[in-house]
Amino acid sequence: MYSNRAHEISLKTKEVYLIAFSYRLKGDIASSRKEYKQALDHYEHSVNYCNLSGVNAMKVAAMHRIAKVYVQMGRNDEAIIVLQKNISEARLFGYRDELERSYKVIAQAYQAKGNSSLAYDYLQKHLVLHDSIYNAQNTSELSSLRNRFDMDMKQAQIELLTKESALHQEEITRQRIQLYALIGGGILFLLLMIITLLSNQRIKRAKSNLEHQKEELARKNEEIGEKSNELIRINATKDKLFSIIGHDFRSPLQSLKGLLELIKYKNLSQQEFAEYSKDLRNKVDNVYNNLNNLLNWSVLQLQGIQTKPAVFEIHALAEEVCNLYTQVSEQKNISLMNEMEDHVNVLADRDQIHLVIRNLISNSIKFTTSGGTVKVYGHTVAGNELEINVEDSGVGIAAKDMDKLFDNDSLWTISGTNNEKGLGLGLRLCKEFIEKNNGRLAVHSEPGIGTTFKFTLPLSTGVRKEKIQEAGYRVPHSQMP
């Protein structure tokens, strides 16, 4: 293996920097193979040699990798300790890239520990620094593209003038050859024809090259325009998202502050406290769900979420989610029913599907009035997929708003029947997570009647068709659109 050979050479040279680098390289290879104990050993050797040589940049990079392996091993407390030290050193030496990476990993560690507040804080720091680095890189790239475009235009003009001069000179030569042909006879005339043919071929090649250069310049100009539009779209989405966060997160926190003030000065009766607490609990739950969607969406945009398919029973998962919303549905006098059958397994990422069903049930409750129903049920599609339906008897969705549900270019939100707030990210996350798990998402809605969201998941290969039919599932003739 090349890494082992490089390590042997570095040991022979006794160059401390090379030895530290070779240990880090071996750690990267072990980590990619999920050999985490070996990876930690190699990275720690790299840190020790970095301390000997005073190479701070490589040391910070190696410590970041140690923390990342700890997170992958589930040792989040150790990862946080390493990252806090690493963040201090990265700030001290001005290593912006390593500081940005450390913010991201420590946010993942706190999220895994269930500390969403600190996870959110560090994720915000990561996003701000990432945007700063990303904008600087894009500015440099745009400047480089403009300079290259100007140079290409100048080069094209020079080549065009050169070709025109060459053509002019060739015309003079051709006229002289014609004169010589008249004097010299047939042989010189034949020579003239050959030269003329060669000249025409050169002209065609020159024109072809010019056309190619024009097309290349047009393509580069189009790339610049696309990158500019993408930056505008990203900034618009970011601005709208922060505007929604600032408005919808502030209200529940102000309500909580007011309730605490009343409790402090003992201005509430027991009955008033119970009523205010119930309303505040709903608002806090809504904020928590929105914050969870925001964190998942942010990590997804940074390509930090990996789908890990596993076999699990869908009824148990649906029951788990329904239990989370029992109190909310009872407060709105809504009947919440889990009609999924037992003993049916699917192959998907359980955490991602948990989020999908949670968002769909939350939306159904949000847009269903008192006395309504929300139910979860399913059936097989073509024998190898399970179609899961979340159906409500709510207010429904107008036809003109259907296309806005999954629009990636805008954030579309409306308030629920009790003025519940949302960020417009839930359905977008559902669609992306379902597609990551080899499924499809569709929606059918009629205003005033209700809405049904349905999505497919692959059935586990270990579940036989007979077992599914015994459990009460049917195989419909038509597939879900």
Q: Which fold has domain 2-114?
A: 1.25.40
What is the token pair recorded at 409? 């270019």
**What pLDDT tens digit does each residue of the chain (481 aa) get?**
555 666 666 666 667 778 888 888 888 888 888 888 888 888 888 888 888 877 788 888 888 899 888 988 899 888 888 888 888 888 888 888 888 888 888 888 898 889 888 888 888 888 888 887 766 655 565 466 446 534 644 564 575 467 667 777 888 988 889 888 888 888 988 988 999 988 889 898 988 888 888 888 888 888 888 777 766 765 655 554 555 555 455 556 666 666 676 666 666 677 766 666 656 665 566 566 656 655 555 555 545 578 899 999 999 999 999 998 998 899 899 999 999 988 899 999 999 999 999 999 998 998 999 999 999 999 998 778 999 999 999 998 888 888 777 776 655 566 555 555 554 677 888 999 999 999 999 999 999 999 999 999 999 865 444 444 444 444 333 334 4
- The CATH code for residues 306-470 is 3.30.565.10
* Residue 41, amino acid: D
User: Terminus-to-terminus CA distance in the chain, angstroms?
Assistant: 50
Close Cβ partners of 44 (under 8 Å, ≥ 6 residues apart): 66
CA distance 248 to 310: 36
Residue 329 contacts residue 365 (beta carbons within 8 Å): yes
Q: Please count the CA atoms within 13 angstroms of the CA of 295 that sit on its side-chain side.
A: 23
Domain boundaries of the chain, sorted by first residue: 2-114, 135-247, 249-298, 306-470
DSSP letters, 33-48, are: TT-HHHHHHHHHHHHH
Look up the pTM and report it: 0.45
CA distance 449 to 392: 9
Q: Please count the CA atoms within 13 angstroms of the CA of 111 that sit on its side-chain side.
A: 23
CA distance 125 to 87: 12
